A and B are shown apart, each in its own frame.
Chain A
Amino acid sequence: DAKTTQPPSMDCAEGRAANLPCNHSTISGNEYVYWYRQIHSQGPQYIIHGLKNNETNEMASLIITEDRKSSTLILPHATLRDTAVYYCIVRVASNAGKSTFGDGTTLTVKP
């Protein structure tokens, strides 16, 4: 899995968009960008993934730069329940489940 770099922590006001960056400059052509989050004392929750196009689902949007060396996870209207550790992982699709988790970004949504 390619190495990723994320800021250790971020704050966001409730109701505002949370933009979480991730650098993955050594990403290979067949590696996807996956995002998970872990709410305190729970297992990780899958959020979204993409290869090179921007993706959107009911939880979030994923913006991947054209050179694929970085990406941004966007939570459009953050709520207090979005407070969690967010992990950006880069891996090939066939390695689903066998992920290398870094330290992630602790997002704190404040009222």
Chain B
Amino acid sequence: GAVVSQHPSRVICKSGTSVKIECRSLDFQATTMFWYRQFPKKSLMLMATSNEGSKATYEQGVEKDKFLINHASLTLSTLTVTSAHPEDSSFYICSARARGPTEAFFGQGTRLTVV
């Protein structure tokens, strides 16, 4: 399958600071990328969908001003957690797909800890 890479894999930040997570498709052009979050021992929850060159579409209950998503190129999407608080500590996972009825592939995830 295609390769999707997230960076960093782990990050610890202080409360009140912002953190940027990158999601890259390494061997295909990702017209659509998805961001999920996962709390301990819980399942994945879709946060938002982003199409290259367009504004992201957020799921109900997800604060778009807190979780800024940029998908400026066909190989890179970023998720910025602004003014992070301890309750934002979670496992953030991206997935990416190419144009058309293709499968989507997941990154390895980013463990965010806000202290």
Using CB atoms and an 8 Å cutoff, list the residues of chain A in contact with chain B.
36, 38, 41-46, 49, 87, 93-94, 96-104
> Which among A41, A87, A97 is the interface contact of B95 at CB below 8 angstroms?
A97
> Which among A41, A43, A100 is the interface contact of B46 at CB below 8 angstroms?
A100
List B contacts of A104 (CB < 8 A).
43
Closest CB in chain A relative to B95 CB, distance in Å = 5
Does B80 interact with chain A (Cβ within 8 Å)?
Answer: no
Alpha-carbon gap, A49 to B46, bound state (A) = 20
Total of A-B residue pairs, C-beta within 8 Å = 58
Does B44 interact with chain A (Cβ within 8 Å)?
Answer: yes
Instruction: Identify the closest chain A residue to B97 (Cβ).
Output: A97
Alpha-carbon gap, A1 to B97, bound state (A) = 18
Most buried by A among B32, B44, B103, B107: B44
Using CB atoms and an 8 Å cutoff, list the residues of chain B in contact with chain A.
1, 4, 6, 32-34, 36, 43-46, 49, 91, 93-97, 101-109, 111
List B contacts of A96 (CB < 8 A).
97, 101-104
List A contacts of B1 (CB < 8 A).
46
Contact (Cβ within 8 A) B43 A43: no
List B contacts of A93 (CB < 8 A).
101
Alpha-carbon gap, A36 to B108, bound state (A) = 14
Alpha-carbon gap, A102 to B101, bound state (A) = 23
Closest CB in chain B relative to A63 CB, distance in Å = 20
